[in-house]
Amino acid sequence: MQRASRAAAPWAAMTGIVVAVALAVSGCSSSSAPSPASGKVGGNLVVGMTTDVLSLDPWKATQFQDVYDVLPNIYGTVTELDKNLNVVPGLAKSWDVSKDGLTVTFHLRSGVTFHSGAPFSSADVVSSFKKIMDPATAAVARTALANVSAVSAPDAKTVVLALGSPDASIPAGLASVNTAILSQKGTEAAMAAAPNGTGAYKFKSRAAGQSLTLVANADYWRAKPTLGQIQFRVIPALQSIVSAMQAGNVQLATFDDPIVAKTAQGSGIQVAKTLQLSYHVLQLNATKGDVANKDVRLAVQCAVDRKQVLDAAALGAGAITGPFTPPVYKSDPSDQPCPTQNLTEAKKHLAKAGKSSGVTIKTIVSQGEYSTSVNEAQSLKAQLAKVGITLNLEVLDSNAYVAKWIAGDFEAAVALNGGSPDPNTMYGRYFTSTGSLNKVAGYSSPTLDKLFVEGRSTSDVTERKAIYKKVSEQLVSNAAWVWLFTGYNYTATTSGVAGFTPMVNGSTQFLRETTVSK
Amino acid sequence: MLKRALRSPVTRRVSETVVTLFGVAVVVFVMLRAIPGDQISASLGTEAAALTPGQRADLESYYGLDQPLILQFFKWIGNVLTGNFGFSAQANKSVLAMIAQSLPVTFELALLAIVIGLMLGLPLGMLSASKQNSVRDAASQAVGLAGLSIPGFLLAAAMLAAVAQLFHYNPNGQAFATLLQDPWLNIQQMFMPALVLGFGLAAPIMRTARTALLEVRSQDFVRTARGKGAPPRRIQYVHVLRSALVPIVTMTGLLFGYLLGGAVVVEQIFSVPGIGRQVLTGINQKEYAVVQSSVLVIALVFVLVNLLTDLLYRVIDPRVRAL
């Protein structure tokens, strides 16, 4: 999933112009960061966000603010992720996988209730999974359960998934709020008006376009949430969120713009940074034009200076990356044919492809989808021009870009794609011949198909790490795409906020342990 | 009698309004659909690539995208005429309810901005016209030029950043309050955005006032009044200003109409939930009903404002009453 609306993108250019003023002003006042005080339990927190919630339906939500900021606090999932993105128990206190990998049995917790007061049981899980798997629901996470052939509940505390083939990615897939468990009695219309989940916070009210307010769920199955109320307040301009924090109206905000992070830091607000799961990439469509030739793609890979792109486009705020970004399966970014820019090697590959005179690659770039897209594209264009590769940039508004991206209607695309804690979920649908996004990825091979099947077939982390290392090698040695860098997620908090743990995937689920003092 | 009714100014005005609004409806309908993508790709983003053909067909039917365009257009027009402006799935409320909330906010902002623009622009125009080509004339015009030259978004963002940083004060960071909910907070939240907009309006008002005042000052009746010994203040306000009001009122009416949709940048920066911001969100989310109906309402209000301006002429200028 793309971090589509994170940076209030159309206003990023205006924010950039004004930052000079804000930085000058921030220099006029004291910039020492106050030491964080421990907050009181039951306080009210205001979180600033740049766009309103698009959907309260967890099965259809795709906008980053919905999936990672708001909905994880309302809804519960069968499994969850800990701070290091390891899969841990959620609504299921444990699970077993049969020896042949074809049966997964979840043992559910007792004493869990929905916000409506209705008790939670296996019937709700079965109902939710069946609806997610039903094509008529158009659930975003349907592919997470693609290998499930049957769901059953032998008793009120047990759910059994029968699989068509082993799939070790299922527990991680079920940790996403897109597979949230809803009451079997709920309807879509009722949920749109008043979400009913099992999460730490209950829906209280919403002013469309302005705010959404949650209150603590006193019956939450974990320890009682530490905040009395959370209000997600819509402030469209990111710089305005910083101003609201300086005035004390907003206490927490997450964003990915390094310039705004610098402004915020200079004014006494605490800013923590974590590397993102999502990755910046130059996608190459191996079914079109000159990039169908492997040597042309390798020439592109060798001509790119990833560090320079990071420095020029994102002010160095991030780290160069390989294909896999989850901490447990992280790729070594230097493990590729050209780990740094090598113009000689690039020219050799072009000559091998019979394209010594150069090639032109039609490349789509989104304007406004995220803050660094155009700068990245221009940086890449300048680098590739040194070896005679012309990136013909087509800068598109985000709707037009998404339409072309979905259709695979490009030779190359400058993209920011969402990552996933599970490597199969991250790339299985892109780089397998039957994957739902293979048209977009533009590359697959029998070797990759085999490796992805192997990776799904074992739950052993050590084995999976070895398999996905081979996947990573296949992807970079064939230059399927050119992976550039991962940026930082910034979490800004005012001095009274304590206990919030930012997660690599951007989730705010640890608001359940956050305190705020007035 | 029917012929007279058809030729009457009222009938002509109503016909012009209907044709204008129909034209606006066609333009906004076509333009929205000319932009690549649709509500499905806008709501699902890149996840729309994973939809099966069956799922896509279901969603198209849900959003009414499977109908021929001409049918979609007249269905929408028919609905609007019966008071059904559509429904926003994102806001989970009717578009009419959304407009009922957002339009008064923009109206209030535009009104305050006009008041500030007049408070700045009129005195500057009068000062400038009091002695043509003098230092005060040049200074007034320089202030006006500054108002025109400084982009509104830059002034807005800089003002907000400076006030928040230096004084830890930002009423726009709080939840928005309408005039009825909390008048004092509302005034505070409207002050900075209205000031930014008003500063931008002051320049055209100043220049229009200056030109109009200079023209009226040179007319015979002003010279006669001066010759008869009327006090300068009376000449300035009763004779000169009143006669120069017509172009000032015209300019003010046009600017007010422009602000109804044109305040969107300031609304975004100051988090004011006005109709401009609503239209922008609707465009980003490809919520056709929100954009089409909101733009139609803005066009209608603009037409009504123009009508009000024309009626004001009859109050200001006796010569128009006689027509």
Render pLDDT for A105-119 as a digit per residue (tens, 0 to 9): 999 999 999 999 999
Structure tokens at A173: 């897939």
pLDDT at A30: 34
pLDDT of residue B52: 66
Any bridge partners for residue A148, and if so which?
Answer: A163
B238: which DSSP letter? Answer: I
Bridge partners, residue A352, by sequence: none
Q: Which of A370-379, A491-500, B3-12 comes out lowest in average pLDDT?
A: B3-12
Q: In chain B, which residues have their Cβ closer than 8 Å to the Cβ of A55?
A: 43, 90
User: Given pLDDT bands bounded at 50, 70 and 90, which one contains residue A200?
Assistant: very high
In this predicted structure, the answer to whether residue A282 has a pLDDT above a threshold of 90 is yes
| φ/ψ of residue A361, rounded to 5 | -120, 120
Domain segments of chain A as ranges: 39-74+199-275+494-518, 76-188, 279-486
Which residue in chain B has the smallest CA separation from A206?
Answer: B91
Look at residue A66 and tell me whether its pLDDT is greater than 60. yes
Contact present, B90 and A54 (Cβ < 8 Å): yes
Task: Give the number of other CB atoms < 10 A from CB of residue A135.
Answer: 12
Instruction: Please give the pLDDT value at position B304.
Output: 87
Spell out which residues of chain B touch residue A441, defining contact as CB-CB under 8 Å: none
In angstroms, the CA A504 to CA A331 distance is 16
Judged on CB neighbours under 10 Å (0-12, 13-18, 19+), A432 is: buried
The Cα of A425 is separated from the nearest Cα of chain B by a number of Å equal to 13
A470 has a chain B CB within 8 A of its CB: no
The token pair at A412 is 């190359």
Give residues 90 to 129 of B whose Cβ lies within 8 Å of A: 90-93, 98, 102
The answer to whether residue A299 scores a pLDDT higher than 60 is yes
How high does pLDDT run on average in chain B?
84
- The whole-number pLDDT of residue A202 equals 96
Query: Which residues of A are less than 8 Å from B93 in CB distance?
Result: 208
- Report the distance separating Cα A467 and Cα A473, nearest Å: 10
* Mean pLDDT on B236-254: 80
Residue labelled with tokens 């989940």: A197
- Beta-bridged to residue A394, according to DSSP, are A364
Average confidence (pLDDT) over A49-53: 92
How many residue pairs from chains A and B have C-beta atoms closer than 8 A? 191
Sequence-ordered strand ranges (E) for chain B: 87-88, 93-94
Looking at residue B322, its pLDDT comes to 54
Percent of chain A clearing pLDDT 90 (strictly above): 74
Tell me how many degrees the CA angle A383-A385-A387 measures, rounded to the nearest 5: 95
Tally of CB atoms within 10 A around A20: 12
Q: How many C-beta neighbours within 10 Å does residue B235 have?
A: 17
Decide if A499 contacts A39 (C-beta within 8 A).
yes
Please give the average per-residue pLDDT across B118-135, as a whole number: 86
Model confidence at B73: pLDDT above 50:
yes
End-to-end CA distance of chain A: 36
Rounded to a whole number, what is the distance in Å from the CA of A183 to chain B's nearest CA? 21
Determine the pLDDT at residue A24: 43
Average pLDDT over residues A36-54: 81
B contact test, residue of A5, A18, A52 with most B CBs within 10 A: A18
Residue A1 banded pLDDT, cuts 50, 70, 90: very low
Q: What fold, for A39-74+199-275+494-518? A: D-Maltodextrin-Binding Protein; domain 2 (3.40.190)
Instruction: With CB atoms and an 8 Å threshold, state whether A135 touches B169.
Output: no
Average pLDDT, integer, range A69-78: 96
Contact check, Cβ <8 Å, B35/A138: no
User: What is the distance between the alpha carbons of residues B321 and A188, in angstroms, rounded to a whole number?
Assistant: 60
pLDDT of res. B193: 96
Contact A378, A307 (CB under 8 A): no
CA distance A452 to chain B (A): 18
- Pairwise CB contact (< 8 Å): A29 & B46: no
Which residues between 403 and 422 in chain A have a beta carbon less than 8 angstroms from any beta carbon of chain B?
403-408, 417
| Contact in structure between A36 and A252 (CB atoms under 8 Å) | no
Contacts of A237 in chain B (CB under 8 A): 157, 268-269, 271
Which has the higher per-residue pLDDT, B65 or A20?
B65
pLDDT, tens digit, 9 for 90 and up, residues A201-250: 999 999 999 999 999 999 999 989 999 999 999 999 999 999 999 999 99
Decide if B271 and A236 are in contact by the 8 Å CB cutoff: yes
- CATH ID of A76-188, from 3.90.76.10, 3.40.50.720, 1.10.620.20, 3.40.50.300: 3.90.76.10
Name residue A319's beta-bridge partners: A486
Indicate the CATH number of A279-486 among 1.20.1050.10, 3.40.50.300, 3.10.105.10, 3.40.50.2300.
3.10.105.10
- DSSP tag of B68: -
DSSP letter string over A26-73?
Answer: HHHS--PPPPPPP-BTTEEEEEEESS--S-S-TTT--SHIIIIIIHHH
Q: Which residue is associated with the tokens 């992805």? A: A452
Check if B52 contacts A (Cβ < 8 Å): yes
Interface of B with A in 69-88 (CB under 8 A): 88
Q: Which residue has the higher pLDDT, A492 or B12?
A: A492
Flag the least confident range among A51-60, A443-452, A482-491: A51-60
User: Of B26 and A7, which is predicted with more confidence?
Assistant: B26
N residues, chain A = 518
Q: Are B320 and B314 in contact (CB under 8 A)?
A: yes
**Average pLDDT, stretch A502-512?**
93
Please answer whether residues A403 and A273 qualify as being in contact, where contact means their C-beta atoms are separated by less than 8 angstroms. no
Tokens coding B25:
């409806």
Of the ranges A156-170, B209-223, B251-265, which one carries the lowest mean pLDDT score?
Answer: B209-223
Most A CBs within 10 Å: which of B33, B40, B47, B95, as the mutation test of the A interface? B47
- Mean pLDDT comparison of A98-112, A181-195, B214-228, B297-311, highest-scoring range: A98-112
b or e along A380-399 (b: 16 or more beta carbons within 10 Å of the residue's beta carbon)?
bbebbeebbbebebebbbbb
Interchain proximity A136–B37, CB inside 8 Å: no
Rounded mean pLDDT of A153-166? 96
The pLDDT of residue A139: 86
Looking at CA atoms only, how far is residue A284 from chain B in angstroms?
17
> Which pLDDT score, from 0 to 100, does residue B47 have?
64
Of the CA atoms within 13 Å of residue B176, those in its CB half-sphere come to 25
Task: Indicate the residue of B92, B157, B163 with minimum beta-carbon distance to A18.
Answer: B157
CA A234-A238-A242 angle, 5° bins: 95
